Amino acid sequence: MRVDTIARMCIRPHPKCKTVFSRYLSTESPKPFESVPGLKALPIIGVLHHFIPIFGTVGFQKNFFNMFDILNKKFGPIVKIDGIFGRGTMVVLFEPGDYEKVYRAEETNPLRPGVQALDYYREVLRKERYDGVYGLTSAQGEKWRDFRTKVNPALLKPKLVKLYAPGLEQIAEDSIARLLRFKDEPKEFSSEITKWSLESVALVGLGNRLGCLQDNLPADHPSQKLMYCSKTIADLMFKLEFIPNWNKEKSANFKKMMEMYDLQWDVSEMYINQAKKQIRERGHDVPDEDQSILEKLLAIDERVAVMMANEMLLAGIDTVAFTVTGLLYHLATNQEAQEKVRREIREQKSARYLKACLKESMRLMPILPGNLRQTSKEHVVGGYLIPKGVFAVTPNENLSKSEKHYVQAKEFIPERWLAEKSDPLYHGNTHPMVTLPFGFGVRSCIGRRIAELEIEIFTKKLLNTVRVTWTGPPLQVITKLMNEFRTPYHFKFENIV
């Protein structure tokens, strides 16, 4: 047999791989972006007619998961939405290989669009206050990269556990004592878990407790104002970002949002100034490993330090509260898994199974339904030419619950994160871009290590002495800007010491 014949046999792709190879290695000219299937806009009303209940292509949906599911079934792996939600054109990518290609090509200076109202507040309305330092939420390009470069060492250091664990353990104990007191009043859970989350993030971000777990907390206590701001901003964000308004900046909702940002800044600044005063009074002879995040950042750039502390108090409350609530729900409705976590805690083993439970819970109930980038250049994806300036969306929640990517995808099975490679459950059989609860690449969540630490400590403290059960219907997710749970909660806490 001739050598060239053997070579052709060796490199001939397997029939099952043909479609994969053709998708990514095709030499055909890309099809124009206008030919991508999806929701077409009409003059003046844009794509609103597609979301009319019953009659629209998509109809009214309570969350993005349902919306993306309908789009995927109707239009396939790539869907274009013309000018949705007051933004530019959006393309939804359902193939992990497609959005991996876009995300990796954009990794040098990735553009992740922020919240328009917050961008306006920082860059226009209160421009003089921020002086060009817009934080991780609003900054783009070199300003974002400069900010992230400065805060990375302080927030990603491995010794965070040693520094904050004792304080977080005490906060967890205080919070659990309150939960046990309200164990027959599910309506109190939301308030209590939010207070725990705020008290925890303040300890990490400022080095101090705020006192929001004290009894008979006054309605005008500064911590109450922060929690009120957090909830109100989340509600208004949905109305301002996703409901079209042709005169948005003069609307009552927009004015209310600016008031909330002012109040949140004022209260945060008060707490930050208190923390700065304590740091100054303590002096500079503090070992590096004992310096708080705020203290480290103040030594680098005071404007960056203040902004980072503010962002932690702005973005770190509801996100952690949502995530720990999802974890407790899955453990409450899967008692065998809860018992495994409890045995692991009591035998003082590493938290491998607890970490697997957290990963599995975030796979099923992520705080964000997907990830977003704005293209800074052209990309050829799935045979189409995607132009610069398009919003590329990855519906990770949908992919994470798909049988195409996970065995028993809608079941809570923490073992998939611990399984051997030979096991069909093994998570490594899935494309690594499918489940991204903390985002991807250099714009991934900087607070991941802190959030996981807070949740792990709280869950260990709780399950060591308390059995958690769920007494109501399945917990439902609704979407505003982020995912939220429909209340009331139906947890029951039973002391088992």
Q: Give the number of other Cβ atoms within 10 Å of residue 351's Cβ.
A: 17
Residue 265 in domain: yes
- Range of lowest pLDDT (1-15, 50-64, 286-300): 1-15
Q: Could you tell me the residue range of the domain that residue 225 belongs to? A: 132-368+437-495
Query: Exposed/middle/buried for 459, CB within 10 Å: 0-12, 13-18, 19+?
Result: buried
Query: Exposed/middle/buried for 16, CB within 10 Å: 0-12, 13-18, 19+?
Result: exposed
Is residue 372's pLDDT more than 70? Answer: yes
Q: Token pair of 410, please? A: 């809608």
Residue 10 in domain: no
Contact at 8 Å (CB) between 9 and 54? no
pLDDT (average), residues 469-484:
91
Is residue 217's pLDDT more than 50? Answer: yes
Residue 25 in domain: no
Residue 355 in domain: yes
Is residue 23's pLDDT more than 70? Answer: no
What amino acid is encoded at 279 in this protein?
Answer: I
- CATH code where residue 150 lies: 1.10.630.10
Average pLDDT in the chain = 90
pLDDT (average), residues 318-322:
96
Helix (H, G, I), strand (E, B) or coil at 90: strand
Cα 259 to Cα 240: distance, rounded to the nearest angstrom: 14
Residue 181 in domain: yes
Output the pLDDT for position 2: 42
Contact at 8 Å (CB) between 92 and 79? yes
Reported as a single tens digit per residue, the pLDDT across 423-457 is: 999 999 999 999 999 999 999 999 999 999 999 99
Banded model confidence at residue 43, pLDDT cuts 50, 70, 90: confident
Contact at 8 Å (CB) between 262 and 66? no
Residue 196 in domain: yes
Residue 126 in domain: no
Residue 73 in domain: no
Output the pLDDT for position 285: 77
445 appears as a binding residue in the annotation: yes
pTM above 0.85, yes or no: yes
Percentage of the chain with pLDDT > 90?
Answer: 75
Q: How many domains does the chain have?
A: 1
Of residues 99 and 158, the one with the higher pLDDT is 99
Helix spans in 106-221 (H): 116-120, 127-130, 135-138, 141-155, 160-181, 187-206
